[in-house]
Chains A and B, each alone.
Chain A
Protein backbone atom coordinates (compact mmCIF):
# COMPACT_ATOMS: atom_id res chain seq x y z
CA UNK A 1 0.00 0.00 0.00
CA UNK A 2 1.44 3.31 -1.00
CA UNK A 3 0.41 6.49 0.70
CA UNK A 4 0.22 9.97 -0.67
CA UNK A 5 1.88 12.88 1.05
CA UNK A 6 1.75 16.60 0.44
CA UNK A 7 4.82 18.44 -0.87
CA UNK A 8 5.29 20.02 2.54
CA UNK A 9 5.22 16.65 4.28
CA UNK A 10 7.68 15.23 1.78
CA UNK A 11 10.08 18.12 2.33
CA UNK A 12 9.87 17.64 6.09
CA UNK A 13 10.49 13.92 5.87
CA UNK A 14 13.43 14.18 3.46
CA UNK A 15 14.99 16.98 5.50
CA UNK A 16 14.67 15.03 8.73
CA UNK A 17 15.95 11.81 7.15
CA UNK A 18 19.10 13.48 5.81
CA UNK A 19 19.72 15.13 9.17
CA UNK A 20 19.19 11.97 11.16
CA UNK A 21 21.03 9.48 8.93
CA UNK A 22 24.58 8.91 10.14
CA UNK A 23 25.92 8.78 6.58
CA UNK A 24 25.16 10.75 3.43
CA UNK A 25 21.77 9.67 2.13
CA UNK A 26 21.27 8.93 -1.55
CA UNK A 27 17.93 9.28 -3.32
CA UNK A 28 17.97 5.56 -3.97
CA UNK A 29 18.49 4.80 -0.30
CA UNK A 30 15.72 7.21 0.67
CA UNK A 31 13.30 5.40 -1.60
CA UNK A 32 14.28 2.06 -0.13
CA UNK A 33 13.86 3.21 3.46
CA UNK A 34 11.96 6.30 4.61
CA UNK A 35 9.98 6.60 1.38
CA UNK A 36 9.32 2.91 0.82
CA UNK A 37 5.55 3.09 1.38
CA UNK A 38 5.09 6.55 -0.04
CA UNK A 39 4.52 7.10 -3.72
CA UNK A 40 7.01 9.72 -4.87
CA UNK A 41 8.29 10.25 -8.39
CA UNK A 42 11.96 11.01 -8.98
CA UNK A 43 11.00 14.46 -10.12
CA UNK A 44 9.05 15.21 -6.96
CA UNK A 45 11.86 13.94 -4.77
CA UNK A 46 14.34 16.15 -6.60
CA UNK A 47 12.00 19.10 -6.20
CA UNK A 48 11.79 18.44 -2.46
CA UNK A 49 15.61 18.34 -2.25
CA UNK A 50 15.86 21.58 -4.22
CA UNK A 51 13.34 23.21 -1.89
CA UNK A 52 15.37 22.18 1.16
CA UNK A 53 18.60 23.31 -0.48
CA UNK A 54 17.09 26.70 -1.24
CA UNK A 55 15.72 27.04 2.26
CA UNK A 56 19.18 26.63 3.75
CA UNK A 57 20.87 29.14 1.42
CA UNK A 58 20.88 31.79 4.12
CA UNK A 59 21.63 29.55 7.07
CA UNK A 60 24.82 28.34 8.80
CA UNK A 61 24.15 24.84 7.58
CA UNK A 62 23.89 23.83 3.91
CA UNK A 63 22.53 20.83 2.07
CA UNK A 64 25.22 19.42 -0.21
CA UNK A 65 25.53 16.44 -2.49
CA UNK A 66 28.71 14.42 -1.97
CA UNK A 67 29.94 11.10 -3.33
CA UNK A 68 27.52 8.79 -1.57
CA UNK A 69 24.50 11.08 -1.25
CA UNK A 70 23.14 14.18 0.44
CA UNK A 71 24.19 15.54 3.80
CA UNK A 72 23.98 18.72 5.80
CA UNK A 73 27.22 20.44 6.66
CA UNK A 74 28.25 23.69 8.24
CA UNK A 75 29.33 26.50 5.90
CA UNK A 76 33.11 26.25 5.38
CA UNK A 77 33.36 29.98 6.12
CA UNK A 78 32.42 29.22 9.73
CA UNK A 79 35.07 26.57 10.24
CA UNK A 80 37.67 28.80 11.95
CA UNK A 81 35.20 29.28 14.81
CA UNK A 82 33.68 25.84 14.72
CA UNK A 83 37.17 24.39 15.01
CA UNK A 84 37.33 25.74 18.55
CA UNK A 85 34.73 23.21 19.61
CA UNK A 86 37.36 20.49 19.46
CA UNK A 87 40.65 20.22 21.26
CA UNK A 88 42.28 18.09 18.63
CA UNK A 89 43.29 19.61 15.36
CA UNK A 90 42.51 17.82 12.12
CA UNK A 91 45.50 15.80 10.87
CA UNK A 92 47.87 17.28 8.31
CA UNK A 93 48.91 15.06 5.46
CA UNK A 94 52.49 14.70 4.30
CA UNK A 95 53.48 15.87 0.84
CA UNK A 96 54.19 12.27 -0.08
CA UNK A 97 50.64 11.28 0.84
CA UNK A 98 49.09 14.22 -0.98
CA UNK A 99 51.16 13.70 -4.11
CA UNK A 100 50.26 10.01 -4.17
CA UNK A 101 46.60 10.80 -3.63
CA UNK A 102 46.67 13.50 -6.34
CA UNK A 103 48.18 11.06 -8.83
CA UNK A 104 45.54 8.45 -8.05
CA UNK A 105 42.76 11.04 -8.26
CA UNK A 106 43.83 12.57 -11.59
CA UNK A 107 45.41 9.57 -13.30
CA UNK A 108 43.19 6.70 -12.17
CA UNK A 109 43.33 3.84 -12.72
CA UNK A 110 47.03 3.91 -11.96
CA UNK A 111 49.59 1.38 -10.73
CA UNK A 112 52.01 1.96 -7.94
CA UNK A 113 54.87 1.78 -10.44
CA UNK A 114 53.34 4.58 -12.49
CA UNK A 115 53.02 6.72 -9.36
CA UNK A 116 56.67 6.08 -8.59
CA UNK A 117 57.61 6.93 -12.18
CA UNK A 118 56.14 10.41 -11.85
CA UNK A 119 57.30 11.09 -8.31
CA UNK A 120 60.81 9.73 -8.93
CA UNK A 121 60.82 7.89 -5.60
CA UNK A 122 59.39 4.69 -4.21
CA UNK A 123 55.97 5.02 -2.67
CA UNK A 124 56.09 3.77 0.89
CA UNK A 125 53.81 0.86 1.71
CA UNK A 126 52.50 2.79 4.68
CA UNK A 127 51.05 5.50 2.47
CA UNK A 128 49.19 3.02 0.29
CA UNK A 129 48.06 1.09 3.35
CA UNK A 130 46.67 4.13 5.13
CA UNK A 131 44.92 5.38 1.98
CA UNK A 132 43.37 1.94 1.53
CA UNK A 133 42.41 1.73 5.20
CA UNK A 134 40.72 5.11 5.06
CA UNK A 135 38.89 3.77 2.01
CA UNK A 136 39.88 6.78 -0.06
CA UNK A 137 41.36 4.46 -2.68
CA UNK A 138 40.64 0.92 -3.76
CA UNK A 139 42.02 -1.68 -6.14
CA UNK A 140 39.84 -1.68 -9.25
CA UNK A 141 41.73 -4.24 -11.29
CA UNK A 142 45.11 -5.41 -12.43
CA UNK A 143 47.13 -4.12 -15.33
CA UNK A 144 47.76 -6.63 -18.10
CA UNK A 145 51.53 -6.37 -17.91
CA UNK A 146 54.07 -8.75 -16.34
CA UNK A 147 53.50 -8.96 -12.60
CA UNK A 148 49.88 -7.87 -13.00
CA UNK A 149 50.21 -4.80 -10.77
CA UNK A 150 47.11 -3.54 -8.98
CA UNK A 151 45.31 -0.55 -10.47
CA UNK A 152 44.18 2.02 -7.92
CA UNK A 153 41.28 4.45 -8.11
CA UNK A 154 39.61 6.83 -5.70
CA UNK A 155 36.37 5.90 -3.96
CA UNK A 156 33.09 7.64 -3.23
CA UNK A 157 34.25 8.05 0.36
CA UNK A 158 37.16 10.09 -1.01
CA UNK A 159 34.59 12.38 -2.63
CA UNK A 160 32.64 12.52 0.64
CA UNK A 161 35.76 13.52 2.51
CA UNK A 162 36.55 16.35 0.13
CA UNK A 163 32.87 17.25 -0.12
CA UNK A 164 32.70 16.64 -3.86
CA UNK A 165 29.86 15.12 -5.81
CA UNK A 166 32.22 13.92 -8.55
CA UNK A 167 35.85 13.96 -9.65
CA UNK A 168 35.09 16.89 -11.93
CA UNK A 169 34.82 18.97 -8.77
CA UNK A 170 38.55 18.63 -8.16
CA UNK A 171 40.74 21.63 -8.93
CA UNK A 172 41.89 21.59 -12.54
CA UNK A 173 45.20 19.91 -13.14
CA UNK A 174 47.87 22.54 -13.87
CA UNK A 175 48.64 22.49 -17.57
CA UNK A 176 51.86 21.24 -19.05
CA UNK A 177 53.79 23.66 -21.18
CA UNK A 178 54.18 21.16 -23.95
CA UNK A 179 54.30 23.69 -26.80
CA UNK A 180 57.27 25.36 -25.17
CA UNK A 181 58.97 22.00 -24.85
CA UNK A 182 58.55 21.35 -28.56
CA UNK A 183 59.92 24.79 -29.31
CA UNK A 184 62.98 24.05 -27.24
CA UNK A 185 63.59 20.83 -29.09
CA UNK A 186 63.31 22.45 -32.48
CA UNK A 187 65.18 25.64 -31.81
CA UNK A 188 68.94 25.08 -31.73
CA UNK A 189 69.59 28.57 -30.27
CA UNK A 190 67.98 27.52 -26.98
CA UNK A 191 70.38 24.64 -26.83
CA UNK A 192 72.97 24.85 -24.14
CA UNK A 193 76.51 25.50 -25.24
CA UNK A 194 79.26 23.21 -24.21
CA UNK A 195 82.37 24.58 -22.57
Chain B
Protein backbone atom coordinates (compact mmCIF):
# COMPACT_ATOMS: atom_id res chain seq x y z
CA UNK B 1 0.00 0.00 0.00
CA UNK B 2 2.85 2.39 0.77
CA UNK B 3 5.21 1.02 -1.84
CA UNK B 4 5.59 4.35 -3.63
CA UNK B 5 5.86 6.44 -0.53
CA UNK B 6 8.59 4.21 0.74
CA UNK B 7 10.69 4.78 -2.34
CA UNK B 8 10.38 8.52 -2.12
CA UNK B 9 11.19 8.96 1.51
CA UNK B 10 14.22 7.27 3.02
CA UNK B 11 13.28 4.31 5.17
CA UNK B 12 15.71 5.23 7.84
CA UNK B 13 19.11 6.65 8.48
CA UNK B 14 21.58 3.99 9.43
CA UNK B 15 24.92 5.21 10.70
CA UNK B 16 24.23 8.52 9.00
CA UNK B 17 23.38 6.98 5.64
CA UNK B 18 19.90 7.21 4.24
CA UNK B 19 18.33 3.88 3.41
CA UNK B 20 16.05 4.36 0.45
CA UNK B 21 15.06 0.84 -0.33
CA UNK B 22 14.34 -2.22 1.68
CA UNK B 23 17.21 -4.66 1.53
CA UNK B 24 16.83 -7.37 -1.08
CA UNK B 25 16.96 -10.20 1.38
CA UNK B 26 13.74 -9.02 2.97
CA UNK B 27 11.79 -11.01 0.44
CA UNK B 28 10.76 -14.32 1.84
CA UNK B 29 8.83 -16.86 -0.17
CA UNK B 30 5.33 -17.18 1.34
CA UNK B 31 5.67 -20.93 1.88
CA UNK B 32 8.82 -20.49 3.84
CA UNK B 33 7.20 -17.80 5.90
CA UNK B 34 4.64 -20.08 7.44
CA UNK B 35 7.35 -22.42 8.63
CA UNK B 36 9.36 -19.52 10.01
CA UNK B 37 6.45 -17.92 11.80
CA UNK B 38 5.53 -21.07 13.62
CA UNK B 39 9.03 -21.36 14.95
CA UNK B 40 9.05 -18.00 16.70
CA UNK B 41 8.85 -18.02 20.44
CA UNK B 42 7.04 -14.69 20.60
CA UNK B 43 7.34 -11.06 19.54
CA UNK B 44 10.81 -10.56 21.05
CA UNK B 45 12.05 -13.58 19.16
CA UNK B 46 10.56 -12.26 15.92
CA UNK B 47 12.15 -8.83 16.49
CA UNK B 48 15.51 -10.41 17.17
CA UNK B 49 15.19 -12.40 13.98
CA UNK B 50 14.45 -9.24 11.98
CA UNK B 51 17.42 -7.45 13.52
CA UNK B 52 19.69 -10.40 12.75
CA UNK B 53 18.43 -10.49 9.18
CA UNK B 54 19.58 -6.92 8.86
CA UNK B 55 22.89 -7.91 10.35
CA UNK B 56 22.36 -5.15 12.86
CA UNK B 57 23.36 -4.73 16.43
CA UNK B 58 20.42 -4.71 18.79
CA UNK B 59 21.72 -1.36 20.04
CA UNK B 60 21.22 0.22 16.64
CA UNK B 61 17.57 -0.68 16.59
CA UNK B 62 16.22 1.20 13.54
CA UNK B 63 12.71 1.62 14.77
CA UNK B 64 11.01 2.64 11.53
CA UNK B 65 12.23 -0.15 9.28
CA UNK B 66 11.95 -2.73 12.01
CA UNK B 67 8.41 -1.60 12.76
CA UNK B 68 7.46 -1.81 9.10
CA UNK B 69 8.86 -5.28 8.74
CA UNK B 70 7.35 -6.38 11.98
CA UNK B 71 3.90 -5.17 11.00
CA UNK B 72 4.41 -6.80 7.61
CA UNK B 73 5.04 -10.13 9.29
CA UNK B 74 2.12 -9.76 11.64
CA UNK B 75 -0.15 -8.97 8.69
CA UNK B 76 1.09 -12.02 6.86
CA UNK B 77 0.51 -14.11 9.94
CA UNK B 78 -3.09 -12.96 9.85
CA UNK B 79 -3.31 -13.66 6.12
CA UNK B 80 -2.22 -17.20 6.81
CA UNK B 81 -4.83 -17.33 9.53
CA UNK B 82 -2.24 -18.38 12.01
CA UNK B 83 -3.56 -18.06 15.46
CA UNK B 84 -1.95 -14.82 16.46
CA UNK B 85 -1.08 -14.38 20.08
CA UNK B 86 -2.08 -11.02 21.51
CA UNK B 87 1.52 -10.39 22.50
CA UNK B 88 2.42 -9.80 18.85
CA UNK B 89 -0.11 -7.02 18.56
CA UNK B 90 1.03 -5.45 21.83
CA UNK B 91 4.56 -5.33 20.44
CA UNK B 92 3.34 -3.73 17.21
CA UNK B 93 1.62 -1.05 19.27
CA UNK B 94 4.75 -0.52 21.35
CA UNK B 95 6.90 -0.09 18.23
CA UNK B 96 4.46 2.43 16.83
CA UNK B 97 4.47 4.32 20.11
CA UNK B 98 8.27 4.45 20.20
CA UNK B 99 8.34 5.67 16.61
CA UNK B 100 5.89 8.43 17.33
CA UNK B 101 7.89 9.53 20.36
CA UNK B 102 11.05 9.67 18.26
CA UNK B 103 9.28 11.89 15.76
CA UNK B 104 8.28 14.41 18.37
CA UNK B 105 10.73 17.29 18.76
CA UNK B 106 12.95 16.81 21.78
CA UNK B 107 12.90 19.56 24.32
CA UNK B 108 16.35 20.69 25.21
CA UNK B 109 15.27 21.75 28.66
CA UNK B 110 14.07 18.27 29.57
CA UNK B 111 17.40 16.72 30.27
CA UNK B 112 16.26 13.49 31.78
CA UNK B 113 14.15 12.29 28.87
CA UNK B 114 15.08 8.74 28.15
CA UNK B 115 15.46 7.34 24.67
CA UNK B 116 12.14 5.54 24.13
CA UNK B 117 14.03 2.68 22.55
CA UNK B 118 16.00 2.00 25.69
CA UNK B 119 13.41 -0.16 27.41
CA UNK B 120 12.79 -2.23 24.29
CA UNK B 121 16.51 -2.62 23.67
CA UNK B 122 16.97 -3.73 27.27
CA UNK B 123 14.22 -6.33 26.91
CA UNK B 124 15.59 -7.55 23.60
CA UNK B 125 19.03 -7.93 25.10
CA UNK B 126 17.66 -9.75 28.08
CA UNK B 127 15.66 -12.07 25.89
CA UNK B 128 18.65 -12.72 23.66
CA UNK B 129 20.69 -13.48 26.73
CA UNK B 130 18.29 -16.19 27.84
CA UNK B 131 17.70 -17.48 24.36
CA UNK B 132 21.43 -18.07 24.23
CA UNK B 133 21.40 -19.52 27.75
CA UNK B 134 18.68 -21.97 26.69
CA UNK B 135 20.78 -23.06 23.72
CA UNK B 136 23.77 -23.52 25.98
CA UNK B 137 21.67 -25.48 28.44
CA UNK B 138 20.57 -27.76 25.62
CA UNK B 139 24.23 -28.51 24.96
CA UNK B 140 24.93 -29.50 28.55
CA UNK B 141 25.34 -33.29 28.58
CA UNK B 142 22.27 -34.89 30.05
CA UNK B 143 21.20 -38.26 31.26
CA UNK B 144 20.02 -40.75 28.62
CA UNK B 145 21.20 -38.55 25.77
CA UNK B 146 24.88 -38.02 26.52
CA UNK B 147 25.25 -39.59 29.90
CA UNK B 148 24.50 -43.19 30.70
CA UNK B 149 24.39 -44.23 34.30
CA UNK B 150 26.40 -47.29 35.17
CA UNK B 151 25.06 -49.76 37.66
CA UNK B 152 25.79 -53.18 38.96
CA UNK B 153 23.41 -55.84 40.19
CA UNK B 154 23.66 -57.67 43.45
CA UNK B 155 23.74 -61.33 42.61
CA UNK B 156 20.96 -63.16 44.33
CA UNK B 157 22.41 -65.55 46.81
CA UNK B 158 20.47 -68.80 46.80
CA UNK B 159 21.30 -70.17 50.24
CA UNK B 160 18.52 -68.24 51.93
CA UNK B 161 15.86 -70.17 50.04
CA UNK B 162 14.79 -72.07 53.14
CA UNK B 163 14.38 -68.87 55.09
CA UNK B 164 11.22 -68.03 53.20
CA UNK B 165 8.26 -67.93 55.58
CA UNK B 166 5.89 -70.88 55.82
CA UNK B 167 2.37 -70.42 54.65
CA UNK B 168 -0.43 -71.50 56.90
CA UNK B 169 -3.47 -73.29 55.54
CA UNK B 170 -5.72 -70.58 56.96
CA UNK B 171 -3.86 -67.87 54.99
CA UNK B 172 -4.18 -69.94 51.86
CA UNK B 173 -7.94 -70.34 52.31
CA UNK B 174 -8.26 -66.63 52.97
CA UNK B 175 -6.39 -65.83 49.79
CA UNK B 176 -8.58 -68.28 47.88
CA UNK B 177 -11.78 -66.71 49.14
CA UNK B 178 -10.50 -63.30 48.07
CA UNK B 179 -9.86 -64.62 44.60
CA UNK B 180 -13.35 -66.09 44.51
CA UNK B 181 -14.84 -62.81 45.61
CA UNK B 182 -12.95 -61.02 42.90
CA UNK B 183 -13.99 -63.55 40.28
CA UNK B 184 -17.60 -62.94 41.21
CA UNK B 185 -17.26 -59.38 40.07
CA UNK B 186 -16.51 -60.59 36.58
CA UNK B 187 -19.75 -62.54 36.26
CA UNK B 188 -22.00 -61.71 33.37
CA UNK B 189 -25.27 -59.96 33.79
CA UNK B 190 -28.19 -60.60 31.49
CA UNK B 191 -30.01 -57.42 30.72
CA UNK B 192 -33.51 -58.25 29.57
CA UNK B 193 -35.64 -56.03 27.45
CA UNK B 194 -37.95 -53.65 29.23
CA UNK B 195 -41.25 -55.33 29.90
CA UNK B 196 -42.93 -52.22 31.16
CA UNK B 197 -43.01 -49.38 28.73
CA UNK B 198 -42.98 -45.84 30.03
CA UNK B 199 -44.92 -44.55 27.01
CA UNK B 200 -47.57 -47.19 27.59
CA UNK B 201 -47.82 -46.28 31.25
CA UNK B 202 -48.17 -42.61 30.32
CA UNK B 203 -51.18 -43.44 28.16
CA UNK B 204 -52.71 -45.51 30.94
CA UNK B 205 -52.35 -42.71 33.45
CA UNK B 206 -53.85 -40.21 31.00
CA UNK B 207 -56.73 -42.55 30.31
CA UNK B 208 -57.35 -43.14 34.01
CA UNK B 209 -57.29 -39.42 34.72
CA UNK B 210 -59.70 -38.64 31.87
CA UNK B 211 -62.12 -41.23 33.19
CA UNK B 212 -62.13 -39.56 36.61
CA UNK B 213 -63.37 -36.02 36.66
CA UNK B 214 -61.90 -35.42 40.13
CA UNK B 215 -58.19 -35.25 40.87
CA UNK B 216 -56.71 -38.66 41.55
CA UNK B 217 -54.55 -39.34 44.50
CA UNK B 218 -50.91 -40.03 43.72
CA UNK B 219 -50.71 -43.43 45.39
CA UNK B 220 -53.75 -44.82 43.58
CA UNK B 221 -51.85 -44.92 40.33
CA UNK B 222 -49.20 -47.31 41.64
CA UNK B 223 -49.69 -51.04 41.48
CA UNK B 224 -47.61 -52.56 44.20
CA UNK B 225 -47.85 -56.03 42.71
CA UNK B 226 -45.76 -54.86 39.76
CA UNK B 227 -42.86 -54.58 42.12
CA UNK B 228 -40.08 -52.04 42.20
CA UNK B 229 -39.74 -51.69 38.45
CA UNK B 230 -43.45 -51.07 38.09
CA UNK B 231 -43.31 -48.28 40.65
CA UNK B 232 -40.35 -46.72 38.90
CA UNK B 233 -41.98 -46.87 35.48
CA UNK B 234 -45.15 -45.26 36.84
CA UNK B 235 -43.20 -42.51 38.50
CA UNK B 236 -41.13 -41.81 35.39
CA UNK B 237 -44.33 -41.77 33.34
CA UNK B 238 -45.79 -39.13 35.73
CA UNK B 239 -42.68 -36.97 35.45
CA UNK B 240 -42.73 -37.33 31.69
CA UNK B 241 -46.39 -36.25 31.56
CA UNK B 242 -45.68 -33.34 33.82
CA UNK B 243 -42.78 -32.29 31.64
CA UNK B 244 -44.97 -32.43 28.55
CA UNK B 245 -47.54 -30.38 30.48
CA UNK B 246 -50.28 -32.93 30.02
CA UNK B 247 -51.05 -33.26 33.70
CA UNK B 248 -50.78 -31.09 36.75
CA UNK B 249 -49.75 -32.23 40.18
CA UNK B 250 -50.94 -30.41 43.27
CA UNK B 251 -50.31 -30.69 46.97
CA UNK B 252 -52.50 -28.57 49.19
CA UNK B 253 -50.34 -28.60 52.28
CA UNK B 254 -46.90 -29.76 53.07
CA UNK B 255 -46.97 -33.54 53.71
CA UNK B 256 -50.62 -33.80 52.66
CA UNK B 257 -51.72 -36.08 49.84
CA UNK B 258 -50.62 -35.31 46.30
CA UNK B 259 -53.26 -35.21 43.58
CA UNK B 260 -52.95 -35.58 39.85
CA UNK B 261 -55.33 -34.17 37.29
CA UNK B 262 -55.45 -33.59 33.56
CA UNK B 263 -54.26 -30.24 32.46
CA UNK B 264 -57.11 -28.49 30.77
CA UNK B 265 -56.40 -27.75 27.18
CA UNK B 266 -57.60 -24.41 25.95
Interface residues of A (CB under 8 A from B): 16, 19-20, 22, 61, 71-74, 76, 79, 82, 90, 93, 95-96, 98-99, 101-103, 105-106, 118-122, 160-164, 170-171, 173-177, 180-181, 184-185, 189-195
Contacts and interface: CB of A to CB of B under 8 A. Distances in A.
A95 B49 CA distance: 15
Given A72-B150, A98-B134, A122-B87, A192 B63 contact: yes
Interface stretch (B74-82, B137-145, B223-231, B235-243): B137-145
A19 B127 contact: no
28 contacts: A20-B152, A72-B151, A73-B149, A74-B147, A74-B150, A76-B141, A76-B146, A79-B146, A98-B134, A98-B137, A101-B134, A119-B44, A119-B127, A120-B44, A120-B87, A120-B127, A121-B41, A121-B85, A162-B141, A162-B143, A173-B133, A180-B57, A181-B121, A190-B60, A191-B115, A194-B102, A195-B9, A195-B10
A185 B13 CA distance: 17
Interface string B138-168: 1111111111111111100000000000000
Interface residues of B, number: 60
A19 B138 contact: no
Contacts of B59: 177, 180-181, 184, 190
Nearest to A160: B143
A99 B131 CA distance: 6
B208 interface: no
B148 A79 contact: yes
Contacts of A82: 148
Contacts of B152: 16, 19-20
A121 B46 CA distance: 12
B126 interface: yes
B133 A102 contact: yes
A175 B128 CA distance: 10
Interface in B96-138: 102-103, 114-115, 117-118, 121-123, 125-138
Contacts, number: 156
A72 B149 CA distance: 6
Contact of B147 (A101, A163, A176): A163
A99 B151 contact: no
A71 B129 CA distance: 33
A163 B91 CA distance: 39
Contact of B13 (A20, A76, A181, A193): A193
Contacts of B132: 174
Interface of B: 9-10, 12-13, 16, 41-45, 57-64, 85, 87, 91, 102-103, 114-115, 117-118, 121-123, 125-154
B77 to A, nearest CB: 14
A32 B103 CA distance: 71
A171 B133 contact: yes
B218 to A, nearest CB: 53
A89 B91 CA distance: 38
Contacts of B62: 192
Contacts of B117: 192
